[in-house]
Structure formats: C-alpha cells, structure tokens
Chain A
Amino acid sequence: EIVLTQSPGTLSLSPGERATLSCRASQSVSSSYLAWYQQKPGQAPRLLIYGASSRATGIPDRFSGSGSGTDFTLTISRLEPEDFAVYYCQQYGSSPTFGQGTKVEIK
C-alpha cells in the first residue's frame, strides 16, 4: 500500500496569500495517478486536480498541481475566502489511498 503523507497539517494564511501544500508518497505513484480534493465542513469532497497537474472541470486557474514520482504539490496562487478548507491528495493506482489532509485556515 502506498502511504501518502501531507504537510503541513495546518496552514494559517490570509486571503490573497499563496498556499503551497505538499504530498509525499512512500513509493513512486504510477503514471502520475495523483489527485487533489477540497472538502468544506459538512460537504462532500470536490475534485480539483487529476493526473498530478490537470485541473478538473470548473476549477479556477489559481489552483495548480505539480510533481511526479513521490513528491507532489498543490499551489493556490492567491487565496480567496472560499478556499479555506481541508485538502486531500489521493493516489488512484491499483490500491487507492488518501493522505491525511491539510487544513488551510484563516490567519
């Protein structure tokens, strides 16, 4: 099983700032089968990024993903008020797993 470790656990930032979230895999993620999701309280997760760097339908371009192999990054270029949420990475290879999440909170 591939273990995904997200850092930091909590990110305290102000609107307008840049957010950089990390996801590290215990072994290489095949074919960049890496996704990022956003979850707000009381809501289901929403797909942001798939294939490590492709934005899902309707996702603003302030969200970007990068990385390959074992190290992946989600960047939010300028935080909007609605971006404060929990973010999960996921590898969707043969035995899918999720990271433990990074909470982006208002500073």
Chain B
Amino acid sequence: EVQLVESGGGLVQPGGSLRLSCSASGFTFSSYAMHWVRQAPGKGLEYVSAISSNGGSTYYADSVKGRFTISRDNSKNTLYLQMSSLRAEDTAVYYCVKTRRVGAVHDAFDIWGQGTMVTVSS
C-alpha cells in the first residue's frame, strides 16, 4: 500500500524552529518529486514547497521563502521540512504529498499523508 506518514508537529513559540518528517512506503520514493501543502484551521489549502526526485531542485512559496527548507533522504525514503522563524500564521496542518507521475515536479498530487499539526503560539 502506498503510504505517507508525517511526524514532528507540535506546539512551538513564535520565532522557534521545528522539523517535520514524512516517511514514505509502498512506492519507489526516489523516483518522485515531493511537496508540502498546509491548511490553517478552518481554512483552505496553501502550497508550501517542492523538491525534485533527486533533491537537486527546490521551490518555495513566497510566504515561507528564506524560513523553510525542504530536503529528502532517498536512502531512508523520507522527506523533511525544516521550519525556522516560525510565526502565528504558520499554524496549520502540514501535509506531505506525492506527485502522480515519475520524475514530474509539475503534476497533480495523487497521494496525501494524514497531516501533522503545527501550532505557533506563546
């Protein structure tokens, strides 16, 4: 079964840091670009970041550029999101998502994790 499982969420103070992880199974992780999408409580979906299959290319939404870093370890089938200088507006459920086609960064998201909640508050 294709599966994505996020972890690492929690409560953090404004200005703090947190690292999210996403463990992938059931598919050849190293062949697919991966992304992070977030959803603030009661709000819609917001695109956050992308990384190519080999990790050589990354993309960030303007709202997180310079504060978040996406990375992956293909030997461990794991995707990461290092978040720093966190703000109240970063409070959201963070979803790890897989692209539909091998190698394609610009593609629809066919598999979503269950999400991990990040709360930024003092």
Contacts and interface: CB of A to CB of B under 8 A. Distances in A.
Contact of B109 (A33, A35, A100): A35
B26 to A, nearest CB: 14
B110 A56 contact: yes
Task: Kindly name the residue among B35, B95, B110, B114 whose own CB sees the greatest number of chain A CB atoms within 10 A.
Answer: B110
A51 B109 CA distance: 12
A56 B44 contact: no
Contact of A45 (B45, B46, B47, B50): B45
Nearest to A88: B45
In this complex, the interface size class of chain B, counting residues with CB under 8 Å from chain A, is 20 to 34
Given A98-B44, A100-B44, A47 B106 contact: no
Contacts of A98: 37, 44-47
Contact of A93 (B46, B95, B106, B114): B106
A96 B47 CA distance: 7
B113 A56 contact: no
A92 B45 contact: no
A90 interface: yes
A101 B39 CA distance: 12
A44 B112 contact: yes
A97 B59 CA distance: 13
A50 interface: yes
Contacts of A93: 106
B19 interface: no
B107 interface: yes
Interface in B69-104: 95, 100
7 contacts: A33-B106, A39-B45, A44-B113, A88-B44, A90-B47, A92-B107, A96-B47
Interface of A: 1, 33, 35, 37, 39, 44-47, 50-51, 56-57, 88, 90, 92-101
